[in-house]
Structure formats: C-alpha cells, structure tokens
A and B are shown apart, each in its own frame.
Chain A
Amino acid sequence: GQQLNQSPQSMFIQEGEDVSMNCTSSSIFNTWLWYKQDPGEGPVLLIALYKAGELTSNGRLTAQFGITRKDSFLNISASIPSDVGIYFCAGRSSNTGKLIFGQGTTLQVKP
C-alpha cells in the first residue's frame, strides 16, 4: 500500500536550536497535516496544508506543502523543553482519498 517516509526517525537537540523534519511520498497528496503527540496522549493537530506551495505558521512552527505535492516539511524554531514529543505527518492521497500517517519523528530537547 501507499506509504509516507518521515525523517528523521528521532532527534535529540539542545534547547534553543531549530528543528526540521519532513515527509515524502511516491504519489501525489492533496492535503498535508502535521500532528504532535505528547506521551500518553492522542495526537493533536498543529498545522493543516491544502495547497501546493502553501506555507503556514503556528507560533514557532512553520510547515510547507511541497510544490510537487509529494512532500512536506515542518520546522520548529528556538526549541523549548515542552516541544518534546512525537511529531507525525499525515497526507491524503489524491488517488485513494485515504489519510496516511508517517512513522513519526521523536523529538527530545535537552535544557
């Protein structure tokens, strides 16, 4: 079936550093979503993208819908300890209409 490749799998960074993660697909998507999951909780939506090239910010978070419609990235600027968690991308396939989740990027921030 269709898959999303999310990278990196994990990151361990110093507080104050910027973070970048991305998702790629072999097929075209018409929606990209970025979620954060805190330990023991369900995923919470951070940013939703609906158009190719769209660049959207939510506080220190910025995400972009790739021009090719096959990728998306999420940047976190000036990381803080509460950024710790698992970040998931999700894309809705133009072919099947189904939402597919990436494997997640585990972020750890050292104070």
Chain B
Amino acid sequence: NAGVTQTPKFRILKIGQSMTLQCAQDMNHNYMYWYRQDPGMGLKLIYYSVGAGITDKGEVPNGYNVSRSTTEDFPLRLELAAPSQTSVYFCASSYSPGQGKETQYFGPGTRLLVL
C-alpha cells in the first residue's frame, strides 16, 4: 500500500491565484481529512469527509473547498489564494471513529507559499 499520497510537495502561488491540492489513499478508509499546520503550531482541521459524496467543515474552512467523488480521492481547492494561506497542508485518512481502528494516517504534506 502507498498509504496517503499528496501532490504537489511544494508550490508558490501569487495572491488571487487558484490551485487544487491532491490527496489519495489506498487503504479503503472512509474518513478523510485536510489539516493546515502553521509554524510552531498544531494541526487545524479545514474540512473532512465521512464518505464519498459527504463533506463537512472543520475548524478553519474559510477560503477552501473540497469534494469527495470517490473513496480514494479528497482534493482541496483554494479559489483566491491569500498570504494567510501560506502553510503546510496535510491530508489524512482513517476508518470510522469508534471502531478501535480510528487512528489517522497522514500524507507527507504540501508546502504552500502565497506571495
């Protein structure tokens, strides 16, 4: 298994540009998550999905959109990039919470710089 994969690894955007961060998992997990990590800080949940076709907002959803058309893929879209979105973005996946197998597995991250 490749686990959780993310692309690109690094990207520089100009203010106002848009981009999509890709995330895929091959563990047949129904839950997927997007987090951002700012320097010296913990992980903040942006959006999550409990299954294909179902998404919900996390703690910091403003400025982002997601979709979940398949179990495997969970892309994150930035429509109008702002400097405040400079961060490291992590995608994660897990089984359903409460089944004793709810630990989240993380991808390697996408480093985004908005100038």
**Pair from one complex:** yes
User: Residues of A at under 8 Å CB distance from B?
Assistant: 1, 4, 6, 31, 33, 35, 40-45, 48, 50, 88, 90, 92, 97-99, 101-104
Known A-B contacts: A33-B103, A45-B103, A103-B41. Give 11 more (CB < 8 A): A31-B97, A41-B109, A43-B90, A43-B106, A44-B106, A88-B42, A92-B97, A98-B45, A99-B97, A101-B43, A104-B41
* Secondary structure class of chain B's binding surface, majority of residues: loop
User: Residues of B at under 8 Å CB distance from A?
Assistant: 4, 35, 40-43, 45, 59, 90, 92, 97-98, 100, 102-109
B42 contacts A42, C-beta separation under 8 Å? no
Which residues of chain A are within 8 angstroms of B97 by Cβ–Cβ distance? 31, 92, 97, 99
**Of the candidates A6, A35, A41, A50, which one forms a contact with B108 in the assembled complex, judged by CB atoms under 8 Å apart?**
A41
